[in-house]
Amino acid sequence: MPNVPDNPVEPDGLPDDHVDFLFSRLKSFSQLAVAVSGGADSLCLMVLLAEWQTRRAWPGRIDILTVDHGLRTESAAEADFVAATAKDLGLSSAVLHWSGPKPASNVQEEARRARYRLMAAHMKDTGAEALLLAHHLDDQAETFLDRLTRGSGVAGLSAMAADELDGPEGLRLVRPLLSVSKHALESSLRARGLTWCTDPSNRDRKYKRSRLRQLLPHLAQEGLTADRLAGTAANMRRADEALDAILHDLMQKHLVEHPAGPLKLDRLVFRSLPEELRLRMLSWMMSRVTGQAPRPRLRNLAGLDRMLAGDRPCRLTLCGAMFDGGPSVLTCWKEPGRRPPETLSGLSGSGIWDDRYSYVVPQPLESGEPQSLCLGPMIAAPLTSKQVDWPTGWPKAAFHCAPVVWTGGDVLLVPFLSTDIDLSTSRSFQELELERLPFQAKLPGNYVDDGNGPGEN
């Protein structure tokens, strides 16, 4: 019999045909950005991607992005290492810097947000269609455990998607290595004689992720391997997608949206839904009227649901949304609160207002037209309640955050609503474009988080 080595034989890494399969979905793109920190996972993604591009003659462009957070003295050298490795592979790269003061707490989360923000801005300039991330099988298992400790429901326990169409900053995130173990990625680099950077914070037990990472081998001894955890996450994702499909069908049939912002729904229909669908419906309504993706605690969301699923009239707020439960209709709108939507002054060109509407101002302005335009909520506009022809079947308060365009003391445009004001001031203002944005916010997976993590009450 052949001699058996004392230590397990380490594989040479991922075979080319396996890599080709993992990257096969990338062929439809023409330009990709890749987030690379210099660690083994992202460095391996960069190397495998460069080899795949050559081997398969993919004609697209690859941009390597690395962020120097400035949190450790080694960060600048690590960014230079990534840039040098990318150059050796024939890939273009850019080092993005997180400048300004750094937070004293919640550092990892704030660094993550800054990272996505910087990369999104760069990708907007270059035209990259998606951002590739090196999240792998072990990361998926850690994410599942993290969500589990927060008391997440089906959506949260779905963990990370291989292709996330609307990630942070609206980015499309592609994770081609989710089925690959960290060990296989490191072996692939060793087989090529490559080294990588090591971030000591990955082993620092003051971070929850590090503690969960160290817990995984003990769970594996009991049969709860990374493969099993990732498989459970995949099962949860299928269930989550099925529930979302049912919810969207219900919304198309029963939910009414006024173009000025508010929503309404037959309260009896709402009452008849299973609790899980009611909770999802409320989360969706909050996101739609505010333009944000709120993170309500389960206890608060469930309390709101109990009141609205009852038969008594009620009016409650949660995460910046007002819910009015009338005898037969449930209405929801954006609450002005202590900080109403901002008023944009000197309006020109195009842009987004209040995360809910896009605008385009005709250019150039006609001779004699006011040069200082304002776009803001109705409650901040020079407009009285008596001047508005309020829509029937809607509370007046539902339109406090409706968009209005004015200059000085003259209202020029009240989109989606009728008034007794002569709004035919000029042809250009009639041509001003203001459109409700399609719903793009990703609903929070951990809306059931009752822990001490970030969330809104």
And the tokens for 351?
């842009």
Beta strand pairing status for 321-325 and 314-318? Answer: antiparallel
Residue 374 three-state SS: strand
CA distance 390 to 410: 20
Nearest CA-CA partner of 427 in 346, 375, 367: 367
What is the chain's mean pLDDT, rounded? 87
Q: What is the pLDDT of residues 358-400, one digit of tens each?
A: 999 876 545 445 458 899 999 999 999 999 999 999 999 999 9
How far apart are the two ends of the chain, measured CA to CA in Å? 67
pLDDT at 425: 55
Answer whether residue 330 shows pLDDT above 50.
Answer: yes
- Interatomic CA distance for residues 90 and 47, integer angstroms: 10
Binding-site annotation: residue ranges: 37-42
Instruction: Provide mean pLDDT across the span 131-159.
Output: 90
- For 16-232, which CATH class? alpha beta
pTM, 2 dp: 0.78
User: What gap in Å lies between CA 274 and CA 209, rounded to an integer?
Assistant: 34
Give yes or no for a contact between 304 and 316, defined as CB atoms under 8 angstroms apart: yes
Report strand pairing: 403-407 vs 357-360.
unpaired
Contact residues for 139 (Cβ-Cβ < 8 A; gap 6+): 41, 160, 178, 182
What torsion do the CA atoms of 407, 413, 418, 421 make, to the nearest 10 degrees?
40
> What residue type is assigned to position 90 of the chain?
G
- How big is the chain by its Cα radius of gyration, in Å? 26
Q: How does residue 64 score in pLDDT terms, banded at 50, 70 and 90?
A: very high
State the pLDDT at residue 267.
Answer: 97
Helices (H), 57-102: 75-88
**Distances from the Cα of 302 to the Cαs of 325, 394, 450, in angstroms?**
15, 25, 12
Q: Which residues line the annotated binding site for ATP? A: 37-42
Model confidence pLDDT, tens digit, residues 238-297: 999 999 899 999 999 999 999 999 999 999 999 999 999 999 999 999 999 999 888 888
State the Cα–Cα distance between residues 96 and 322, nearest whole angstrom.
40
So what's the pLDDT on residue 449? 47
Which DSSP letter does residue 103 get?
P
Give CA 383 to chain center in angstroms. Answer: 36
Q: 104 burial class (0-12, 13-18, 19+ CB within 10 angstroms)?
A: exposed
Q: Residue 266: how many CB atoms within 10 A of its CB?
A: 14
Q: Helix, strand, coil shares of the chain as percentages rounded to 5?
A: 40, 20, 40
Q: Where are the domains of the chain?
A: 16-232, 250-334, 344-436
What pLDDT is recorded for position 424? 57
* pLDDT mean over 323-329: 97
Of 10-24, 330-344, 393-407, the poorest mean pLDDT is in 10-24
**DSSP character string of 239-254:** HHHHHHHHHHHHHHHH
Check: CB of residue 26 under 8 Å from CB of residue 176.
Answer: yes
The pLDDT assigned to 455 comes to 39
Question: Is residue 441's pLDDT more than 50?
Answer: no
| C-alpha–C-alpha distance, residues 316 and 457, integer Å | 12
pLDDT of residue 438: 84
pLDDT given for residue 3 in this prediction: 42
pLDDT at 328 over 90: yes
Tokens at 220, concatenated: 């594996």
**250-334: CATH class:** alpha beta
Q: Quote the CA–CA distance of 215 and 142 in Å, as a whole number.
A: 9
Per-residue pLDDT of 394-406, as tens digits, reads 999 999 999 999 9
pLDDT, one tens digit per residue, over 194-218 is 999 887 666 777 778 789 988 889 9
Helix (H) or strand (E) run with residue 322 in it: strand 321-325
